[in-house]
Structure 1
C-alpha cells in the first residue's frame, strides 16, 4: 500500500503571501484525487510540496507510513507530469521514455521491457524515433505520461497536463488518462482549474480556496451537496442560482412568492437560496407549492437546452433573476412563465459564514 497523507501543510513566503494555509488529506491506492480551485488557491503549491520541489513551512508529507517531508524529489519514488510536458527536445521519444531509468541505473533488459509495455499501452510505437518537435500536442502529452508510467512510481502527480490542448483533443486525452491510471492502481494527485476534468476523472475532489480545503468528497457529492457558498458557486456550469432572500416567519421571500424554509433551529433575518438551473422546472398540473412567476428577458441556446433568465415578479423590491434550463422546442422570448423550485433540490446557506444549513 502506498497511502499518501498530508498533515496540516502550510507554505508561507511572507506575512502577506501564504498560498497554502492548512491542508490535510489522504489518498489511498487506486484513488484519483483532484485538487480543484481558481488561480492562486494553493493547488499547484500543494502539489509541489508533495513532489519535494517546495519545502513546507509547517506540516508533514507521509507516504506509506514514512515521513518524507524533507526528502529530495529524486528519493520519493514519485512521477510527475508537467503542464509544459518537459520533454528533452534533442532526444527521440524512445530516449525520453528511457532516460530517467538509465539515470537510476535500471538494467538494460528491464528498461526495454518497461518502455515496450508503456509504448503498447499508449499507442506510441509509430512515434519512437521522432523528436518532440515532430509531434502534435496530444502526442507530446502521451509521451510525458509515458515517461511517468515507466518509472512505476508509488504516486503519480499531474499538474494541469491538458491545459495546452485544444478542446477536442483534451476530451480524448482525458478519457485516455482515466483508463490508464485505473490500470495503474497507484494514488494519483491531479491539479486543474477545469471542473469538467475534475468531475470526470476523479474518485475524490478537494476544492481549494485561499489556501484551505473547502470540501473533500466524491464528485457527485461535491455537485449535489456543496458544503458552502464557494463550492456551490464554483462547481457547475451553468452556475447555481444563489439568491439572498429576506425571511418572513418560516419562509424566505423570493419576490412576491414564499419559499418554505427547512427545519432549522433559528430562522435568520436573511438567507441564501441555492438551486441549479437544471432543477428549476416548468409548472405542471400536479404542482401546488414552491411556485414562482416571472418574465423571460434573456434566452441562451446551449444546444440541448435553452438557458433562460427570468425576472421574478416582485411588487416591492427590484426584480431578482433566476435561471432555468428549459426545452429548445419552443420560444421563450419575453414570455410570462411559471416555475417550480422542488424543495429536495434547494440548498440553504448562512449569509454570514456561507456554510450550508441543509
Structure 2
C-alpha cells in the first residue's frame, strides 16, 4: 500500500476565500487521520483536493511517493465515502457494492469473491439481494462503506459518513468503523466536526481552523497538551474553562485569588488560563485552612456562587460565578460525580495546579505550565 503526502497545499477561490492554507502532512499506511474543526475550516475541501475532484491553487499531492496532483480523480485509485449514502436505488446490495469493480472491468469471479468477503466483514452477507429502500440507515451506510472497501484502494477518504445516523446508531457504526479499518493497510483520512468521532477513531487528529492546521498529534496529546487556545476550547466536552486574567508580578488574578504563573518568561499584563471541568472539584474540609491564601501545594481554591446545575446522568455540571476586584466576573464549570452533594449556593472550588493550561493573551499559543 502507499502513504499519502500533502505538501504546501493551498486552495484559493478569491482573495477573501482561502479554505486551505499551506497544509503539509503525511498519512502512513494503516494510519487513521481525522480532520476536525468547525464548519468552514477547510476539511471537505482538503478531501476534494486529495481525491482530485478539485485542483489545488498551489502545492502537491503524492500517493506512494508518486505525484498525483495532475492525475484525474478516476485514475487515483482512491475510495471515497460521502455523508449521503449515494446508493443506486434500482440496484441490490451486491450490485451497488460491485458497481465500481464492473466499471474497471474486473472479471466476474473476482468481483463475486471481493463482494462476498467484504459483505461478511460488514455483516451484510444476508442482505445482498435487498435494494436500498428496504435497508435501515445503518445498513445503507455499511453498503456505502463496502463499495469503497471492495476496491482495495490506495487511500480511503470518508466525509462525515455518520452524520445522517441517529445517536445510538452512530455510536454502534463508529465502533464498527474502528475495527474494520484496523484491518486495512491503506491510509484513511476521515472528516468530521464531531470531536468524539475524532478522538475515538483516530491514530492522529489534525485540528483545523480557518484553513490553517492548528495541531497534528495523537488524540491523548491533543487533549492533554493543546497547542493553543483554539484547540483547547474546541477539543473536549464539556468545553474547557478559559479566562483572560490580569497579572500582578508573577501571579494571575482569578477573582480574589492569585495563581502562580509558569516560569521562563517575562510576566505579561494579561494571560489566558484554561482548566477542564473534570479537573475542578469541591474543596474538602481539610483544605479550608488554605482558603485565606487561595493556594495549597497542588491546588488553587476559589469561592463562588452556583447559579446553574445540569444533570448529565453520571455527573453534574455546575456553573459557578466567581466575583473579583473591580467588578470582575468569571464563570467556572465543574464536572462532579452525580452522588456528590454540596450545601447551599456558596461553594469553594479546588483547581488542580498541574492541570492548568496557559496561553498568550494576544497570540493564543500555549506557553507551558507551572
Q: Shorter-chain TM-score: which interval?
A: over 0.9
Partner of 2:247: 247
SS of 2:304 mapped into structure 1? strand
Separation in structure 2 between the aligned mates of residue 208 and residue 35 of structure 1, nearest angstrom: 7
Matching of residue 293 in structure 1 with residue 312 in structure 2: no
Matching of residue 354 in structure 1 with residue 364 in structure 2: yes
Q: TM-score, normalised by structure 1?
A: 0.97
Partner of 2:14: 14
Partner of 1:325: 335
Partner of 1:305: 315
Partner of 2:161: 161
Task: Tell me the alpha carbon deviations over residues 218-251 of structure 1, each in whole angstroms, 9 at most, x when there is no partner.
Answer: 1111111110111111111110000110001111
Partner of 1:338: 348
Matching of residue 238 in structure 1 with residue 238 in structure 2: yes
Per-residue deviation, 1:318: 2.8
Q: TM-score, normalised by structure 2?
A: 0.94
Separation in structure 2 between the aligned mates of residue 246 and residue 271 of structure 1, nearest angstrom: 7
Per-residue deviation, 1:132: 1.1
SS of 1:124 mapped into structure 2? coil
Deviates more, 1:315-324 or 1:132-141: 315-324
Partner of 1:211: 211
Task: Tell me the alpha carbon deviations over residues 176-210 of structure 1, each in whole angstroms, 9 at most, x when there is no partner.
Answer: 00000000121100000000000000000000110
Partner of 2:278: 278
Separation in structure 2 between the aligned mates of residue 235 and residue 314 of structure 1, nearest angstrom: 28
Task: Tell me the alpha carbon deviations over residues 52-82 of structure 1, each in whole angstroms, 9 at most, x when there is no partner.
Answer: 0010010000110000011111111111101
Per-residue deviation, 1:156: 0.5
SS of 2:271 mapped into structure 1? strand
Q: In structure 2, do the counterparts of structure 1 residues 331 and 343 end up closer, same or farther at CA, with 3 Å as the change threshold? A: closer
Separation in structure 1 between the aligned mates of residue 250 and residue 144 of structure 2, nearest angstrom: 57
Separation in structure 2 between the aligned mates of residue 264 and residue 215 of structure 1, nearest angstrom: 23
User: Runs of 4+ in structure 1 displaced over 4 angstroms?
Assistant: 330-334
Determine if contact 1:308/1:332 at 8 Å carries over to the other structure. no
Report the count of equivalent residues. 358
Separation in structure 2 between the aligned mates of residue 332 and residue 56 of structure 1, nearest angstrom: 57
Separation in structure 2 between the aligned mates of residue 135 and residue 327 of structure 1, nearest angstrom: 41
Equivalent residues in 2 for 1:1-358 (5 A)?
1-284=1-284, 285=286, 288-289=295-296, 290-332=300-342, 334-358=344-368
> Gaps spanning 5+ residues in structure 2: where?
none
Separation in structure 1 between the aligned mates of residue 338 and residue 107 of structure 2, nearest angstrom: 62
Determine if contact 1:159/1:190 at 8 Å carries over to the other structure. yes
Per-residue deviation, 1:332: 4.5
SS of 1:297 mapped into structure 2? strand
Separation in structure 1 between the aligned mates of residue 79 and residue 329 of structure 2, nearest angstrom: 53
- The RMSD of aligned alpha carbons is 1.3
Separation in structure 2 between the aligned mates of residue 93 and residue 328 of structure 1, nearest angstrom: 46
SS of 2:317 mapped into structure 1? strand
Separation in structure 1 between the aligned mates of residue 226 and residue 80 of structure 2, nearest angstrom: 30
SS of 2:266 mapped into structure 1? coil
Per-residue deviation, 1:331: 4.5
